Chains A and B, each alone.
Chain A
């Protein structure tokens, strides 16, 4: 407690100093200074503000297309099933809410893990755009292993599938890490390329005449074999036939704990963070920068590969070409990690936010009399884009936050506008 308290007090003092210095007029803190300060003092403020701004602009878009933003957002919220958490919701509404919440959490599960994949690389100073490719590679491996070895013992089969898929994701991301570590190739470029390679190879594998296409139905459908029944993950909430919530959700939660422990309580995590803060200083301190680039990228890919495996074993059970081509879990994960400030808790909440948003605006869950669901899916994309845009622009968000202070009566006179 005391350490935390001290830090907050220190931050308050720093804030007072900044304000006083600003009043003095002889020193204007640079934008970067105030940014660094707010990162320390109120990291959560910018994240919340970002989400609020994005939803506000989203509301304007809704208004512009002639619907009521309040009732639209309320309908979206009810579609997410989060109203299940309210004790006063009872009866049939509660049953529907439970079904919806199961769907939301099903979407939250891969978002958490892919968000961790992006966040872990961020902590090492790398931008992993390749979450999508690593997720696809993980799910391809999962579908392949889980639909082969038909006579294998169920739990063993599940463990084997998950381990192989996670390793495959890790290796795939490791390519980008290896290239960065050895020849200095920028990880953004290489992960984008790896995404599209996974996209097309995945499309080829299950397409008509592809090597992993199912031979059932005269091989006329571009889909993989179904995974064996014994390899399905156990559904602990809801009906297994109606896509109830499976135990993979707890694997994702465990992933959050592992993420936090690895970063904050292990030598590896210390090294990764040191490289992320300042590669030169880390090198000077005797930390192998290149080695950590590779390790961080491989670990990141492991999270994303795990996400793919869990989705396949938990509710997809098979993959078709369309699944691969329309999936954008790995891209939404970028927004998840950025909004969650690359912390475990932050990633959980922003994954829940985006999982809820995706589910609440889906055609099945949104009340069509309030807002057209076919438009709502695109509204989600716009909100995602705005979140990513504003999350990157802390300076703007902080500026807006400061305007609030300036508008407060009495302060307006004290802080002269520039």
Chain B
């Protein structure tokens, strides 16, 4: 078949025949191959995942030969993975599957784990869109976590605790901003320093204030009097919706608001345009009268406050206690989500959900007898995915042009 004929036959099909669409359908089929073997459908026959998976591989192969290489190979990989996981699922016990893949509980727990990541990733987005790399998200989150619970404990009010946590995170971010913007410190070095400092300061104060007994716990009843952030009950009808969304913490809902507001402000207002122009080409922004320094200071400080909100949610919304280094790399996962999501709010949120889902799955796997040890391994998944993403397999992640470059006026 000659090329014009091929083009015509494709045009007949419209966009449906595009190699990219076929490839995307292949990826969907690959996911489907695995999903069919899980509850509630639980296909027990090997035939189902294998056939659907092979369809995915075929779609992928065709897409590759038609030129959509990236999507095509993605579909081939998804198909093979779907077949593999599907076979594994059909071979494992039904009871184990039911315990692990209780979808409604998984969704609720995914949202719980994704929330701190969302806050910190949005914080990182503000900072990096203004051209300041923020490796210190982890430290700012940890600061928010400690000062949040400290404030709530001392004042007896979670609102004040949250504000104190945000203030402390913002203050730490301000210190970082001074070094990164005015003193033009290497931003990676500065961020590393912030992480060390936050770890030391929170650890020091934690032991100094609470000693080895740790912060007061929910179980002592001390927390029932307004120190922890309340959950929001929605409906009384038991069911899928109720288990998934019915009793989420207030901060989960606030994180959605933060997400939407970040998107609207950064991408739909003149203010956001200025912010992004500072991050892409500070010289040009300066020339038209935008203060590069002021914009960056504001963005970095806000970034610290948002990350601190994520940290405060961890202590007074979720875990109800504090431990040394309790963020355990969540700030870095948030950074990974930001990169994975290509420095866009929707992408970063999707990545945060994905990473949250992997944490939730890991937690449920931990309760199944023979899978428990793999739950630990599962924690590495976000980092592996991000490594693959920066390697350019899933489309290149390109940061704002002036990200990481200190600006000096001429």
Contact = CB atoms under 8 A, between A and B. Distances in A.
Interface in B368-396: 372-374, 376-377, 379-380, 383-384, 386-387, 390-392, 396
B206 to A, nearest CB: 8
B367 to A, nearest CB: 14
Contact of A197 (B184, B373, B387): B387
A149 interface: no
Interface string A80-117: 00000000000000000000000000000000000000
Contacts of B324: 378
A127 B190 CA distance: 12
A378 B189 contact: no
Interface footprint category on B: 35 or more
B193 A392 contact: yes
B219 to A, nearest CB: 24
B197 A382 contact: yes
A378 B204 CA distance: 5
Contact of A381 (B186, B199, B380): B199
B197 A197 contact: no
B186 A392 contact: yes
Interface in A350-387: 372, 374-375, 377-387
A127 to B, nearest CB: 5
B208 interface: yes
A342 interface: no
A389 interface: yes
Nearest to A32: B408
B226 interface: no
Interface stretch (B29-37, B147-155, B302-310, B329-337): B329-337
A193 B335 CA distance: 10
A189 B339 contact: yes
Q: Count chain A CB atoms within 10 A of each CB in B199, B208, B335, B387 and give the residue with the most.
A: B387
Contacts of A385: 193-200
A385 B408 CA distance: 25
B179 A382 contact: no
Interface string B180-224: 000111101110111111111101100110001000000000000
Nearest to B386: A193
Contact of B335 (A31, A65, A185, A192): A192
Q: Is the interface of A mostly helix, strand, loop or mixed?
A: helix
A361 B200 CA distance: 13
B135 interface: yes
A188 B379 CA distance: 20
A204 B192 contact: no
Interface in B292-324: 324
A92 to B, nearest CB: 31
A207 interface: yes
B38 to A, nearest CB: 23
Contacts of A383: 200
Given A190-B390, A196-B329, A65 B197 contact: no
B197 A391 contact: no
How many A residues are at the interface, by size bracket?
A: 35 or more
Contacts of B200: 378-385
B390 A377 contact: no
A189 to B, nearest CB: 5
A338 interface: yes
B183 A395 contact: yes
A401 interface: no
A179 interface: yes
A145 to B, nearest CB: 22
Given A185-B392, A193-B383, A382-B201, A392 B189 contact: yes
Contact of B376 (A204, A331, A334, A386): A204
A176 to B, nearest CB: 9
Given A210-B373, A395-B183, A189 B386 contact: yes
A274 interface: no
B380 A201 contact: yes
Interface in B65-115: none
A31 B332 contact: no
Interface in A43-79: 61, 65
A210 B384 CA distance: 20
A196 B204 contact: no
B204 A382 contact: yes
Interface in A169-213: 175, 179, 183, 185-186, 188-190, 192-194, 196-197, 199-201, 203-204, 207-210
Contacts of A388: 189, 192-193, 196
Contacts of B379: 200, 203
Nearest to B195: A385
A193 B338 CA distance: 13
B373 A395 contact: no
Contacts of A396: 179, 183
A334 B188 CA distance: 11
B356 to A, nearest CB: 16
Given A185-B391, A193-B386, A31 B184 contact: yes
Contacts of B377: 200-201, 204
Contact of B383 (A31, A197, A386): A197
Nearest to B187: A392
Nearest to B377: A204
Contacts of A146: none
A186 B193 CA distance: 19
Given A193-B383, A375-B204, 20 more contacts: A32-B408, A129-B192, A179-B387, A185-B390, A188-B135, A188-B188, A189-B386, A204-B376, A209-B372, A378-B324, A381-B199, A382-B200, A383-B200, A384-B196, A385-B195, A385-B197, A385-B198, A388-B192, A388-B193, A392-B179
Q: Which 3 A-B pairs have the closest CB atoms?
A: A381-B200, A385-B196, A385-B197
19 contacts: A31-B184, A185-B390, A189-B335, A189-B339, A192-B332, A193-B336, A193-B386, A193-B390, A194-B387, A207-B373, A207-B376, A338-B189, A381-B199, A382-B196, A382-B204, A385-B195, A385-B200, A388-B193, A388-B196
